[in-house]
Amino acid sequence: MSVKIEVGAGGIPHNQILIYGLVGSLVLIYLTYLNTYFQTEYFAFFGGLAAVVALLWGTDTIKHLCSYGLGTGVPSAGMIALGSGVVAALFGATTGPFAPIVTIIIAAIIGAVAGLMANAVVRMDIPVMVVSLIELAIVGAMTVLGLAAMACGTFEFLGMITGTVTFLGFTMLTYETSVIGGGIIAVIFMLGAIAIQHPFNACLGPGEQQDRTLMLAAECGFLSMIPVAIISFAFIGAYAALIALVISIIGWLYTYQQYIELSKRDAYAWLDAQPIMEPEEGGA
């Protein structure tokens, strides 16, 4: 299982995407801290943008990892990424303002352990396994932290486990109506896990092109932002959530339309209500 197949050669080198993804998602997550600084909620949408950047990087990592003949393993790679990531993100969130940095470190450790297990114990012997799983765990953690920050306006643990409920005119703090207590973290987990594996899973094949796959990754990221923005109406102010929703919808419309254009460019033919075009040498 360690024969490397070149998929979609060319394009932006992976290390460049790695650096942009890591720095970009870190900076964007820290921009949500402006909420705490200015005591508002309007900057929550930066969390979603951090998730989009992280997903772009994660998609390229999955492409590298899965070029070692892991066809059906593409969705599994997304699951392990977010599975490692959600643990790291929840642990990191307890460390206050240092949360994103601690999250990255913890995710790297979890990813390394998972990678070493896969190579040494399960004996998959894939050269890039350890590095890829470290990257995927960080991507998963940043996605969870970013989308959770988008839903409740902060990446700090206390904000994720307290929600407000209005009862007979009194506002009370409860655990049940929070991001973690209400189970919204499970929705974020699945949104991230499907969004990270979908771009490469959907575009794999001999005609895979990096720009099309990455455009789909951005589209999946913005698409995941839309439900999180709607859920955030339950946690943050209506105007802040509305800003997040509008940004998600604009980003999604743009990337979706670009993705369709790129698919049109790469497709063999773009037909509407036409019969099967049998190949000339006769397949059937």
Q: Which residues bind other proteins (CB under 8 A)?
A: 75, 78-79, 163, 165, 176-177, 181-184, 186-187, 189-191, 193-194, 197-199, 201-208, 212-213, 216, 219-220, 223, 226-227, 230-231, 233-234, 256, 259-260, 262-264, 266-279, 281-284
Q: How far is the CB of 190 from other proteins (least distance, A)?
A: 4
List Cβ<8 Å contacts ≥24 apart for 205-209.
Answer: 207/266, 208/7, 208/8, 208/63, 209/8, 209/11, 209/262, 209/266
Residue with smaller CB distance to other proteins, 69 or 207? 207
The distance of closest approach from Cβ of residue 54 to other proteins in the complex, given in angstroms and rounded to an integer, is 18
- Sequence-distant (6+) residues with CB within 8 A of 268 are none
If the CB atoms of residues 100 and 251 are measured against other proteins, the closer one turns out to be 251
Closer to other proteins by Cβ: residue 154 or 201: 201
Q: Among residues 28 and 225, whose Cβ is nearest to other proteins?
A: 225
Q: For the packed helices 45-66 and 129-152, what is the interaxial angle rounded to 10 degrees?
A: 160
Cα angle value 92/98/99 (rounded, 5°): 25
Nearest to other proteins of 51, 130 (CB atom): 51
Residue number, 39 or 176, with CB nearest to other proteins: 176
CB of 284 to other proteins, least distance (A): 6
Residue number with CB closer to other proteins (35 or 213): 213
Q: Which long-range contacts (CB under 8 A, 24 or more apart) does 27-36 make?
A: 28/53, 28/146, 29/100, 29/142, 29/145, 29/146, 29/149, 29/155, 30/100, 32/149, 32/150, 32/153, 32/154, 32/155, 33/97, 33/154, 33/155, 35/153, 35/154, 36/97, 36/154, 36/156
User: At its nearest, how many Å lie between other proteins and the CB of residue 213?
Assistant: 8
To other proteins, the closest distance from the beta carbon of 70 in angstroms equals: 14
Q: First and final CA of the chain: distance in angstroms? A: 33
Name residue, tokens 């409920």: 165
Q: Quick one: 269 exposed, middle or buried, by C-beta within 10 A (0-12, 13-18, 19+)?
A: exposed
CB of 238 to other proteins, least distance (A): 10
Residue with structure tokens 């990446």? 155
CB of 214 to other proteins, least distance (A): 12
